[in-house]
Amino acid sequence: MTTSGRLATYEDLLASPEGTRVELVAGTIVTAPAPLPRHSNPQGSLRRFVGGPFHDDDGFGGPGGWWIFVEVDVRFGVHDVLRPDLAGWRRERLATPDVRPIDVVPDWVCEILSPSTAARDRVYKRRLYAQCGVASYWVVDPAARTLEAYTLRDGSWVDAGAFDDTAVARIAPFEAVELPVGRLFLPRAASRSGEDSE
């Protein structure tokens, strides 16, 4: 919401100070703290393990065929401009990727849970992504060291698998490559168990 009580729009989001991590969620501008390393590590690892072969190696021997971006603005509606931790589009669906916000619904979204965002990622965003037709949704939990995958079928999420840090898995829509789930996370000795905001 804005201070006037009306639902905020993308124009209000653009008025936020530069460099602020913000999203527009149900007409409310939501600010997020800077991520902790335990959140940033899975984001970077997925960008490498998935983005490497499907985005970076497009035309260079990998499966290719995707744009995979970290924290870009995606407009799901007038009052919902979200910044997924990672989002991917099949290239034939996103001819012009270098725009802000992107108005094409992603084919894949991955959210990495933190204490400040877990409920929103698991409830509001999950519901919105299904309503808008995101085909695949992954939820990574750094604290539990797990990855849950869902596929959209007839407007509802279907469980496509749950994986812990011992798994090396082929997970839709990127089943052409093996994903070593344990390598998404900080080594156990480097992980903290404190209750931080991110």
pLDDT digits (tens, 9 = 90+) for 180-194: 999 999 998 766 554
How many helices (H) and strands (E) the chain has is answered by 5, 12
pLDDT of residue 170: 97
Half-sphere exposure of 142 (CA within 13 A, CB side): 33
Q: Which of the 8 DSSP states describes residue 183?
A: G
Residue 189 DSSP symbol: G
Strands 146-153 vs 74-77: parallel, antiparallel or unpaired: unpaired
Q: Which CATH homologous superfamily contains domain 34-190?
A: tt1808, chain A (3.90.1570.10)
Query: pLDDT band at residue 196, thresholds of 50, 70 and 90?
Result: very low
pTM assigned to the model? 0.91
Residue found by looking up tokens 């939990």 in the block:
141
3-class state of residue 38 by DSSP: helix
Model confidence over 127-181: pLDDT tens digits? 999 999 999 999 999 999 999 999 999 999 999 999 999 999 999 999 999 999 9
* All structural domains of the chain with their residue ranges: 34-190
Residue 2 has pLDDT above 60, yes or no: no
What was the pLDDT predicted at 189? 78
Cβ of 185: how many Cβ atoms within 10 Å? Answer: 22
